[in-house]
Amino acid sequence: MVDLSKMDKKALAKVFDYSVLPKDTNEAAIRKGCEITRQYQFAAFYSSSPYWTPIIVDELKDYPDIEIGTGIAFPFGSAPANVKAFETEEAVKRGCTAVDMVMNIGALKDKRYDVVKDELKLFVKAAGKAVTKCILETNFLTDEEVAAGCKIILETGVQYAKTSSGQFEGPSLEQFMVMRRTLEGTDVKLKVAGVKFPRPQNAYTFLMAGADRIGTRAAPEIIDALDLMREIGVVPKMK
């Protein structure tokens, strides 16, 4: 669990995955995102498509500890499993070291757990050494479905359970706690995306609730707010 009482802004940056995901993203926006990533040295930089990955690889070539990520079947998750696996393989070939795949939400809601398990097994195999993160899109799910999805993530060896794509409504704290309680004591880490306004307050709340990563385009804003959050008592003071 992240201990905010021991973190300065530099350490805090390593629990954030920064992203540039808008549909109208162009090369200038990607390069600007890489510049900001170098400045803060986030844990990762994400684009919405591996189309941008070669540019990101070049921009971040001197920062091997920063993950280069993209979304798979993003943001809907309804592609067939073999298509998702191919997309994952292609992303890794182009230089991605982290891949976030959207779970087949319809199959999960239909209790077609065999379909979900099969696609996640193929995803993990296709990802190879890349970090794997599976997106649940919790706002479309009941608590029971969130728990079922998390159990499949654990069973199939995916490294992170992620709340949301960030393209729709983000998670509630209550939904996140279902994920945490389901996966407590396991090796699966928890990533939150789609943090709602006011983002700094909500992001720090998720971290204190047990999130290992926060994925957001607002990462600079949230990190820059650390001193203020400490001043007003939202975040504990440094020990």
Element (H, E) at 33: helix 27-40
Burial state string for 162-201 with b = 16 or more CB within 10 A and e = fewer than 16: bbbbbbeebbeeebbebbbebbeeeebbbbbbbbeeebbb
- Tell me which H or E stretch contains 161: strand 160-162
List 99's β-bridge partners, or say none.
70, 132
**What are the distances in angstroms from CA 66 to CA 34, 195, 238?**
11, 22, 25
Nearest to 181 by CA among 214, 147, 141: 147
Q: Which residue in 162, 196, 227, 237 is the catalytic one?
A: 162
Is 162 part of the annotated catalytic residue set?
yes
Residue in 17, 84, 100, 133 annotated catalytic? 100
List 17, 84, 133, 191, catalytic entry: 191
Peptide bond into 236 cis (omega under 30): no
Q: Is residue 216 helix, strand or coil?
A: strand
Query: Which residues are designated catalytic?
Result: 100, 162, 191
